[in-house]
Amino acid sequence: MKISNRTMQSLFANASNQSDNNPMAGASLQQVSERAGVSIATVSRVINESPLVSENTRARVLRAVRELDYQPSFAARTLAKQSTDTLGVIFPHLDDGFFLEALKGINDAASETDYHLMVAFGRGPADEMKLIRQYVQQQRVDALIIMNVDLPNRFVSSLSKHASKIVMIDRPVKGANIPTISMDNINGAANVMRHLINDHGYTDIAIITGPEGTFDSIQRLEGCRIAAKEAGITIPEHRIWYGDFSEDTGYNLMHTQFASNKPLPQAIFAFNDNMAIGVLDSMREHNRSAPDDIAVVGFDNTSQAKHQNLTTIHTPVRDMGNLAVRKAISTIKNKDATPNTPLHTLLPTELIYRRSCGCGQAQFAPSKRFRK
């Protein structure tokens, strides 16, 4: 869609009139044009970085803009550039350090650019789908970063026609032509199991997953089964406990095990640190400790994990957020070109050894973090 000079002049003139009638507003476009000695249309071309302006005229207009502290109309600039200079971000919530860390990475990367962030939090899949439709179809943002939301595969696949405007974090969908940034859940979980089995000799290991059918739970459980099969052991169904990634889940599941008077496992691998910390809380209430009575391992390496001396998997969540912004901006600027980066990016995880599994404060090499 091309915007005529007459339309742009009208838009900026309207903004100018509103400025004149509003005592709280700054300088108007008319005042800038009078100060610079040029037309309103010329001022609008300078503001929108048109090449059809001489350098002397451009310098004169910009000097007037600075002297009058003129603030261009956001709506007019958006229409003129056919761009909002805004990245949308959709999160399920910020209830734990995992999502907060990702948002920090997104903000770090965006702050180095001219893009603004518009962050929204969904209240379940239906609300998240509504937000995505609004952002994409109404062109509220130039690109949309979607973080680990529990959306139906069919809906995500339908977003392929908007692939140049969307980046998914931790939620790849098979067959969907959408850029994704993911962590290596499978190898991360497999390495936990290998460590518990091969280095500590545990064979009776309970697994606490997230909600059944969620992407992270499926992948991490697959990694557990790969490592168990390598060791020639099985994970019986009664040792797979389904949670919801909350601390309360870990606490309640462990409390139920104590109340059952059934044999306890040698080790527990929770699919995030929140649930692992809930397990540790329940153990303390029952005068048990890790690793003396039961070894406990988490996943994510949150700040709480360090305070609890919890062995866990470091996930490059901030790097994922950082890289998602860079990939989103790349797709905006090269939407008609063949991408020169892989469609899907998989970042490695790292096992962090602490006392809760029986290792004590063992030494480990820091991961090679993503560099811009």
Mean pLDDT, range 65-75, rounded to an integer = 75
pLDDT digits (tens, 9 = 90+) for 229-256: 999 999 999 999 999 999 999 999 999 9
Amino acid 76: pLDDT: 54
Q: Which domains does the chain have, with CATH numbers?
A: 5-81 (1.10.260.40), 86-182+317-345 (3.40.50.2300), 185-316+352-357 (3.40.50.2300)
pLDDT class for 195, splitting at 50, 70, 90?
very high
Residue with more model confidence, 338 or 171: 171
Distance CA 253, CA 245 (A): 12
Distance CA 224, CA 186 (A): 8
pLDDT of 364 strictly over 60? no
Mean pLDDT, range 340-345, rounded to an integer = 76
C-alpha gyration radius of the chain? 27
pLDDT digits (tens, 9 = 90+) for 93-142: 776 678 888 999 999 999 999 899 998 887 777 888 888 888 877 777 88
Amino acid 139: pLDDT: 74
Calculate ∠ Cα 4-9-14, nearest 5°. Answer: 130
Contact indicator for 325, 145 with CB cutoff of 8 Å: yes
Residue 21 one-letter amino acid: N
Neighbours of 100 (CB within 10 A): 16
pLDDT digits (tens, 9 = 90+) for 291-301: 999 999 999 99
What percent of the chain is predicted at pLDDT more than 90?
A: 52
Please state the pTM of the whole predicted model: 0.74
Q: Kindly write down the DSSP assignment for every residue of 220-273, as one continuous string.
A: HHHHHHHHHHHHT----GGGEEE--SSHHHHHHHHHHHHHHTPPPPSEEEESSH
CA 271 → CA 1, 67, 211, 237, 274, distances in Å? 48, 57, 10, 16, 9
What percent of the chain is predicted at pLDDT more than 70?
A: 82
Mean pLDDT, range 243-272, rounded to an integer = 97
Amino acid 80: pLDDT: 54
